[in-house]
Amino acid sequence: MTFTGDEPFELKKCIANGNFSKVYLAVKADSTQVACKVVKTAKMQREKVLREIFILNKLKGCKGIIAFDCYWEEPEQICILMQLCNRGTLAQRLKPKVGEAKVPITSEERIDYLRQMCDILMVLKNNRIVHCDIKLENILINENNELLLADFGLADIAGRMEKTSGSPNYMAPEFFDYTAPHPSYSTDLWAVGVTFFFLCTGGPPFSTRGTPLSLMIANVKARLWGSIEQRKVLSSKELTIFESIFTEHVDRCTPEQVKELCDDT
Ligand SMILES: Nc1ncnc2c1ncn2[C@@H]1O[C@H](COP(=O)(O)OP(=O)(O)O)[C@@H](O)[C@H]1O
Ligand SMILES: [Mg+2]
């Protein structure tokens, strides 16, 4: 067992089931509450989990990134201890769990979230990291309503990525064109655009419920985003932002430019 932490702790209850993991509330000997992500190495290759830990450690202390604490290995699983975020994810903010009140997201609040997501993209770029799975479920909210990016399970050093990974709704057109570049800072920005679109309209930009994957991919390639109903709820500022993000990768704007658009009145 490789335990790189100093303190013992106790696992309390499971707080979320991810695609590849279970996340538990854990309590340390000094009573601090932390989150413990348990990944079965049968589901996810050990090397990939260790890469996730390497990246979390590299980004330790960066604003907007979930704070890594320590990890240890057991015969069939790896446990990652990190800062606990009690206020859930952006997905839960949009669709609260049964019994929780739904607090509407105002237009100022979602623009503020977008600004924060752009700051996070800049942090990733400064550290040469591409996340590859930015989406509502992987963005946590802390008690100050600040966003923290989590789940570096598909992340890697820029330029070193394998092709095509992530969630279909969030994938940029170049993912579906086999002659185009690999995942990049720019494909992460596209995923931030999709996340922002969900926050504005409650749904994804390139599909509706029941849309076959092939049609969704055709819409992404043709940049056909937003139904008439979805566009109706968007402000002119939001429309401009989506036009600057949902483009061919060579024309796509940068996080800095998106932030300028956020500040335009
Ligand atoms: N630090 C944390 N604090 C609170 N909840 C968390 C934390 N990290 C993850 N979660 C919850 O657990 C879920 C799964 O974690 P994630 O790292 O995304 O794993 P997976 O790779 O299985 O998707 C997240 O969607 C979120 O709801
Ligand atoms: Mg996840």
Query: Whole-model pTM above 0.75?
Result: yes
Q: Which of 113, 105, 128 is nearest to 188 (CA)?
A: 128
Q: Which of 28-42, 90-104, 110-124 has the lowest mean pLDDT?
A: 90-104
Q: Identify the DSSP state of 136.
A: G
Q: What percent of the chain clears pLDDT 90, i.e. is strictly above it?
A: 72
Query: Alpha-carbon Rg of the chain, whole angstroms?
Result: 19
| DSSP result, 166-190 | S-GGG--GGGG-TTSPPS-HHHHHH
For the chain, the straight-line distance linking the first and the last C-alpha, in angstroms and rounded, comes to 56
Proximal ligand: closest to the CA of 23: 1
Q: Which atom of ligand 1 is nearest to the CA of 151?
A: 17
- Sorted by where each starts, the structural domains of the chain and their CATH numbers stand as 2-82 (3.30.200.20), 90-263 (1.10.510.10)
Separation of 148 CA from ligand 1 center, angstroms? 11
Q: Is the CB of 18 under 6 A from ligand 1?
A: yes
pLDDT of residue 181: 62
Positive or negative, the CA dihedral 128, 134, 138, 140 is positive
Residue 3 has pLDDT above 90, yes or no: no
The ligand whose atoms approach the alpha carbon of 87 most closely is: 1
Residue 209 CB: number of other CB atoms within 10 A? 6
Indicate the top mutation candidate among 34, 140, 146, 195 to test ligand 1's pocket, ranked by most ligand atoms within 8 A of CB: 140
Please give the pLDDT value at position 1: 33
Residue 153 CA: nearest ligand 1 atom is 21
Q: State the average pLDDT over residues 185-194.
A: 96
Q: Is the pLDDT of residue 42 over 70?
A: yes
2 pLDDT higher than 50: no
Is pLDDT at 5 greater than 60 in this prediction?
A: no
> Residue 225 pLDDT > 50, yes or no?
yes
Identify the CA nearest to 177 among candidates 131, 123, 129, 218. 218
For 1, other C-beta atoms within 10 Å of its C-beta total: 7
- By most ligand atoms within 8 Å of CB, the mutation choice from 15, 21, 22, 23 for ligand 1 is 23
Contacts of 211-214 with C-beta under 8 Å, sequence gap 24+, read 213/168
Please report, for the chain, how many H helices and E strands are present, in that order.
Answer: 8, 9
Residues 47-91 pLDDT 10s? 999 999 999 999 999 999 999 999 999 889 999 999 999 899 999
Question: 129-187, pLDDT tens digit by residue?
Answer: 999 999 999 999 999 999 999 999 999 988 777 666 778 999 999 888 766 667 889 99
Cβ contact 57:68 at 8 Å: yes
Residue among 42, 3, 5, 47 nearest 21 (CA): 42
**Alpha helix (H) residue ranges in the chain:** 46-58, 90-94, 107-126, 185-201, 213-221, 228-232, 236-245, 255-263
- The whole-chain average pLDDT of the chain stands at 91
**Residues 207/136, Cβ–Cβ less than 8 Å:** no
